[in-house]
Structure 1
Amino acid sequence: MRLVTQQQQQRTQLRAQWQKLHALVPPSDSVALPERLTFSPLDFQSQGRQLVRWQPAQGGGELVLETGWQAVAETFSLLTARGMQVPAFSLMAGEGALNFTLRVEQDNAN
């Protein structure tokens, strides 16, 4: 009788372990990841933002824009969507717009 009880307990434990392992298996339907946009400095020539200069460097470069305040935050979002990081930037008041200089680098973490 004790042997039967042990077998039942082992089956219950094995079933619980199997359910935990089964939960770790990825779904059979592949999940579509959003397609990453490629970086182009021309993407930053838009309403409220004007490309002044692009100085390419290995893995990135320096992007200089004339922009208004509203486009500053959007610029960071656009760069992130294109797999770029901004390790340094500066904002200076210009004639009717901000001079926005960004050092950009490819985000190799993704």
Structure 2
Amino acid sequence: MFRFLKTAALASMIGVGAIGATAGTAQADGLSIGFGGSGGHFSMYFGDGGRHWHSDRRWGKGRHFRRGCTPWRAVNKARHMGVRHARVVRANHRIIKVRGRKFGHRVNIVFARAPHCPVLNW
């Protein structure tokens, strides 16, 4: 029986020492464990309370986000360039052609399917 108590006490001391050692290195992740102090102080803190917004939550884990240019992005960019009544007239796997009016004249803008919709022909 005495041997069992000795083993249990030694195991608990090793466990407490391991928790105290990891508390100093994991404070940036939100883990804080304190021992000692006057009056036998003991405190524990885990996590940040959920106050921070993580960018990967916005799209979800199973949602695929297309990084290239899409027709609605090309129309939106054309509107920001000052084209009124912008609409897609042709789209394939390489280009998106948008037609509209600017200063009363008809304009055609060709966008590439690359990220940020680069303008090929204005």
The higher relative CO (CA closer than 8 Å, separation ≥ 6) is in: 1
Relative to the length of structure 1, the TM-score reads 0.26
Which has the larger Rg? 2
| TM-score, scaled to structure 2 | 0.24
